[in-house]
């Protein structure tokens, strides 16, 4: 039997649910990820705030019809994340996440949202899926200061090589 992996998804990997695709991760790639039966997919509530900010920036640039579509899509995606069968929500903050967030700050990870996501992944998961180069750099240079458990920080490209 294949080992189940607990995978924390950085915000980039939730974006296609909200109607936002990037060069790094698309809706079709999300479908591939959702089709993997040996994965439990987790997200941080901070990603929902980050996604709302992204959408609010985008609606400033588009017409009213597309604004309504983006805002409606956000609400639909919330329902899917919160009540669907594919994703698990982790705590936004707890004492251990807060402690790890402080360690990550001291190690030079500047973005608060990234620190919360990384800290939650370290505490509750065994893989962090992220494209953030600053997170990758800190992990590679400081992992012994962060955890003694089996844990990986992977990009989508590396994740596919290991798991798909």
pLDDT tens by residue, 81-92: 999 999 999 999
Q: In what order do the strands lie in the sheet with 127-129?
A: 87-89, 39-43, 5-9, 127-129, 152-154
Residues 101, 68 share a domain? no
Give the residue from 62, 88, 114 where a domain finishes: 88
First to last CA, the chain: 16
Do 156 and 102 fall within a single domain?
yes
Give the residue from 88, 114, 140 where a domain finishes: 88
Mark whether 11 and 79 lie in a shared domain. yes
How far is it, in rounded angstroms, from Cα 75 to Cα 49? 12
- The predicted-structure confidence for 109-159, as pLDDT tens digits, reads as follows 999 999 999 999 999 999 999 999 999 999 999 999 999 999 999 999 999
Which of the four pLDDT bands, split at 50, 70 and 90, describes residue 64?
A: confident
Same domain, 14 and 43: yes
Domain count, the chain: 2
Query: Does residue 154 share a domain with residue 126?
Result: yes
The percent of residues in the chain predicted with pLDDT above 90, rounded, is 82
**This model's pTM is above 0.75:** yes
Calpha distance 65→151 (Å, rounded): 44
Q: Are residues 101 and 83 in the same domain?
A: no
Burial zone of 103 (CB within 10 Å; 0-12 exposed, 13-18 middle, 19+ buried): middle
Same domain, 70 and 32: yes
Same domain, 63 and 100: no
Query: Does 67 share its domain with 38?
Result: yes
H, E, C per residue of 34-68: HCCCCEEEEECHHHHHHHHHHHHHHHCCCCHHHHH
For residues 78 and 9, membership in a common domain is answered with yes
Which CATH number belongs to the domain containing residue 16 in this structure? 3.40.50.1010
Range of the domain at 148: 95-163
């Amino acid at each position: 039997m294949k080992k189940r992996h607990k995978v924390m998804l950085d915000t980039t990997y939730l974006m296609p649910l909200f109607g936002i695709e990037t060069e790094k991760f698309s809706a079709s790639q999300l479908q591939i990820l959702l089709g993997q039966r040996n994965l439990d997919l987790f997200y941080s509530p901070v990603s929902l705030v980050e996604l709302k900010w992204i959408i609010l920036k985008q609606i400033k640039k588009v017409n009213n019809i597309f604004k309504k579509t983006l805002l409606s899509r956000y609400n639909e995606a919330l329902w899917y994340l919160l009540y669907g069968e594919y994703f698990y929500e982790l705590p936004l903050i707890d004492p251990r996440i807060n402690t790890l967030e402080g360690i990550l700050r001291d190690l030079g990870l500047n973005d608060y949202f990234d620190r919360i996501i990384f800290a939650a992944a370290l505490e509750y998961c065994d893989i962090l899926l992220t494209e953030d180069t600053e997170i990758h750099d800190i992990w590679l240079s400081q992992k012994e200061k962060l955890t003694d458990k089996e844990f990986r920080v992977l990009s989508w490209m590396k994740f596919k090589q290991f798991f798909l």
